[in-house]
Structure 1
Amino acid sequence: MKIYNHLSDFSKLNNAVVTIGTFDGVHYGHQKIIRKLVEKAKNSHGESVILTFFPHPRMIIDPENQDLKMINTINEKAKILEGLGVDHLIITPFTRDFSNLSPQDYIKNILVDTIGTKHIIIGYDHRFGKDRSGNLTDLKSAGQHYGFDVEEIAEQDIHDVAVSSTKIRHSLLEGNVSLAADYLGYAFSIFGRVIKGDKIGRTIGFPTANIFVEETYKLIPGDGIYAVTVEMSQLEDKDSLPEYKTYKGMAYIGQRPTINGMTRNIEVNIFDFNQEIYGQDIKMNFLKFLRHDVKFTGLEALKIQLQQDKEDTLTYFKSLS
Structure 2
Amino acid sequence: MSTLTSSSPIRIGTRGSLLAVAQAEMVAAQLASRGAVSEIVVIKTTGDKVLDRPLSEIGGKGLFTKEIEAALTERRIDCAVHSAKDLETILPAELTLGAFLPREDVRDVFIGRGGMTLAELPPGATVGTASLRRQALVRRARPDLKCAVLRGNVQTRLKKLEAGECDGTLLALAGLNRLGIPQIATEILDPTVFVPACAQGAIAVEIRRDDDRMIEACRAIDDRATERTVQAERGFLAALDGSCRTPIAGLATISGEDIELIGLVAAPDGTRVEEITGRGLVTEAAEMGYDAGRRLRARVGEGFFELLA
TM-score for the superposition, normalised by structure 1: 0.25
Q: Which has the higher contact order (CA 8 A, sep 6+)?
A: 2
Higher helix proportion, which one? 2
